[in-house]
Amino acid sequence: TDLIAGVSRDRLEALADREAKRFAEAHPKAQAALASGAGVYLDGVPLHWMKDWPMPHLPLVAKAEGAVLVDIDGNRVEDFCLGDTGSMFGHSPKPVARAIRRQAGRGLTYMLPTEEALEAGRLLVERFGDFRWQIATTATDANRFAIRVARAVTGRPKILVFNGCYHGTVDDAMVTLDEAGHTINRPGLLGQFNDLTGGAVCVEFNDLAGVEAALAKGDVAAILTEPVMTNSCMVLPDAGFHDGLRTLSRRYGALLIIDETHTISSGLGGYTRVHSLSPDMFVVGKCVAGGMPTSVWGMTEEVAERYRVVNADRESGHSGMGTTLSANPMQFACLKATLGEVMTPKAYEHMEKLAERLSRGLRKSIERHKAPWHVVRVGARVEFICAPGPLKNGAEAAGAHVPQVELAVHVALLNRGCLIAPFHNMMLISPATRKRQVDRLVAAFDDVMAELFG
Ligand code: PMP
């Protein structure tokens, strides 16, 4: 029999056809509006990532509130994508909306701090730890700047990253392992003619021996990792993996940079605080200011001291770090509101509880249909994976990815009123998400599973 991820090809194709038609029927206004207005955009989309959505065409959003999206065709959907983590704390959280209104009349960007900047700084330390902080606008930038500091203070060229990782559009991390286990440029990287392997080395996640072998060469400035590899399905760290990274990085004089941009779902302070990690540098972006483009990155006082030394010796000129609109007063207003009033222990308690309800529901459905799939949860973030688990590393995660099945399931879920993230099978629970929304998603998933598995 012809099976893909345990699903018969015939059933899968029938479902995909049916669901594409159903989507088109429910979105006539969006289709007409796109046909007349989207042509000015390259390939009809303002950000080319939007082409990765699996629907026959995009819906146009009329508004979003809490964990609900309403489109111009009047469809109301439960939003578990939440801007792919940017709105993980719900759409327009009330304290953030208030902060925006307050700041809106006082100027949007000055290249000078505000009193709120100082209050936000105190909250950064309280939530994430005693780092020396900088504000940037995207997590991509924050990672690039952290890498730059790591290279500057160690005087070493390479960043160690894990196979299958994603840290934003950071070229330095865009390497992968080939079949022989050598680091190579990631295929698909547009317009990159440099050999990136002079500045990066790639190792499999959970492979401490591989990490040690790479570090032993003495040219690694920093290990850059997520606590859980979330961009390759969700690969959990083995017991002892993070302790091992910390021990080895210290032994070989490399810094440890933890990117919490997605694992902020783990709980208050992110995975770092929940699991008592001790990175030299810490990065988090996307949702940290409630959806206002903001990222934060910090270094320990020890690294800051080394940075001051190299910076003092530096000839004046461009540092390669920025950017002009960063650390603006609107970011601080939103950062303060989010850290102080939105990202609270109580909010996390709610998110955790509903995420567990969701993962239990999905797991039961998978078991009932005897699908060779599994579910992983990291705090408020849940993912179903169309392959058996657990997965150990990026290579296994790449093998577990089944776009054909995933795309059909995503459209089918959306037709049943539930939006999940494109690119992966991620579902996020926000403080605004309600139990009935979770139950609707579980029911929709179970309905789709019944169609796929009979
Ligand atoms: N770090 C991680 C772990 C991410 O998943 C992403 C984006 N998915 C980024 C950084 C980059 O975030 P942004 O696209 O907002 O720059």
pLDDT tens digits for range 350-385: 999 999 999 999 999 999 999 999 999 999 999 999
Q: What does pLDDT average to over the chain? A: 97
Domain boundary among 323, 342, 361: 342
Domain of 446: which CATH number? 3.90.1150.10
Local structure of residue 421 (DSSP, 8 states): -
Same domain, 74 and 99: no
Provide the H-helix boundaries in 27-156.
28-37, 94-104, 115-128, 139-154
Same domain, 242 and 126: yes
Q: How many domains does the chain have?
A: 2
At 134 the pLDDT is 98
pTM for this model (two decimals): 0.98
Instruction: Please report which helix (H) or strand (E) contains residue 3, including its range.
Output: strand 3-4
Integer Cα distance of 315 and 312 in angstroms? 8
**Residue whose CA lies nearest to ligand 1 atom number 9:** 168
**Residue whose CA lies nearest to ligand 1 atom number 4:** 167
Q: Is 231 in the pocket of ligand 1 (CB under 6 A)?
A: yes
Same domain, 337 and 246: yes
Same domain, 336 and 290: yes
Local structure of residue 91 (DSSP, 8 states): B
Residue at 84 is within a domain: no
Domain boundary among 309, 342, 375: 342
CB 235 within 8 Å of CB 206: yes
- Domain span at 432: 3-79+344-453
Atom of ligand 1 nearest to the CA of 165: 3
Residue 406 tokens read as 């995933």
Same domain, 32 and 132: no
CA dihedral angle for residue 109, residue 112, residue 114, residue 119, rounded to 10 degrees:
110
Same domain, 337 and 348: no
Pairing of strands 68-71, 295-299: unpaired
Residue at 192 is within a domain: yes
Same domain, 209 and 138: yes
CB 86 within 8 Å of CB 265: no
pLDDT tops 90 at residue 209: yes
Q: Is 270 in the pocket of ligand 1 (CB under 6 A)?
A: no
Same domain, 352 and 377: yes
Q: Is 166 in the pocket of ligand 1 (CB under 6 A)?
A: yes
The Å distance, Cα 139 to ligand 1 centre, comes to: 5
Domain of 318: which CATH number? 3.40.640.10
Residue at 18 is within a domain: yes
Residue at 139 is within a domain: yes
Q: Exposed e or buried b for every residue in 297-326, given b needs 16+ CB within 10 A?
A: bbbbeebbebbeeeeeeeeeeeeebeeeeb
Residue at 237 is within a domain: yes
pLDDT tops 90 at residue 56: yes
Same domain, 138 and 236: yes
Domain boundary among 296, 323, 342: 342
At 423 the pLDDT is 83
Same domain, 300 and 446: no
In this predicted model, what pLDDT tens digit does every residue of 156-188 receive, in sequence order?
A: 999 999 999 999 999 999 999 999 999 999 999
Q: Is 297 in the pocket of ligand 1 (CB under 6 A)?
A: no
Torsion over CA: 44, 45, 49, 54 (sign): negative
Same domain, 253 and 280: yes
Same domain, 437 and 356: yes
